[in-house]
Amino acid sequence: MNTKRKLVYGIGVNDYVGRIKENGKHIGAYTSWISMLSRCYGKSELEHRPSYIGCSVCDEWLLFSNFKRWYDENYVKGYQLDKDLLVKGNKVYSPQTCCFIPLEINCFLLESNSSRGKSGLKGIYKTRYNTFIAGYSENGKRVYLGSFKTLELAKKAYSKSKEKRAQKLAKLYFKKGLIKENVYTSLLNYKAY
């Protein structure tokens, strides 16, 4: 790697020979690359979003030109870069593990991975009465699944509902030709836990 160039977030190299700005704004590939590096290596980003601690970018994508080539071949306008759907629990951004997905699907996945109550499990909250409430957000609205006597019952209700929603999203977007087959298959096989 060329160490004479200034490193981006201490690790990435902008080796691209073309313009990274058009009309005063960074091109989409560069913005996506910088955001990815920030999530993995930006100190303030990691402090605000600790779920990215331990995430990394593959060696190939540390060179902007390589990432840009993949981006140009795969990007869909308005879609977002995702590293978790194709490989559950994935922590590495790479051509094999990433895809572009619609905002609605990305929000579905983000909500699934971020909302953890006192139970320690996403979407399940332990009450002071030792019962468990299961729920999640869908299109900005809270979906209440019920109050359960045991953690296992709450977990089962949450899983069933989220997996059904993933399948619904898969069928809706695939039928309209808005997602690739690998995204479709991953959503059909989505497991909440």
SS3 content of the chain, % helix, strand, coil (to 5): 45, 20, 35
pLDDT tens track for 72-121: 999 999 999 999 999 988 999 999 999 999 999 998 887 654 444 555 67
Beta pairing partners, 144: 135
pTM of the entire structure? 0.84
List, in order, residues 6 or more apart from 148 with CB less than 8 Å away.
Answer: 131, 132, 133, 134, 154, 157
Cα(70)–Cα(66) distance, rounded to whole angstroms?
7
Query: Cα angle vertex 83, ends 152, 106, to 5°?
Result: 70
Confidence category of residue 138, pLDDT binned at 50, 70, 90? confident
Phi, psi dihedrals of residue 178, rounded to the nearest 5°? -100, -5
Residue 31 contacts residue 22 (beta carbons within 8 Å)? no
pLDDT at 139 > cutoff 80: no
In 89-191, alpha helices (H): 103-114, 151-175, 181-188
Domain extents in the chain: 1-101, 102-193
Cα(96)–Cα(83) distance, rounded to whole angstroms?
9
The domain 102-193: what is its CATH number? Answer: 3.30.730.10
Place of tokens 């059904």: 164
From 15-19, 49-53, 114-118, the region with the lowest mean pLDDT: 114-118
pLDDT at 1 > cutoff 60: no
User: Residue type for 67, please?
Assistant: F
pLDDT of amino acid 31: 96
DSSP 87: S
Pair of tokens at residue 78: 């308005």
What is the residue-averaged pLDDT of the chain? 90
pLDDT of amino acid 2: 46
Taking Cα atoms as reference points, which of 131, 55, 145 lies closest to residue 93?
Answer: 55
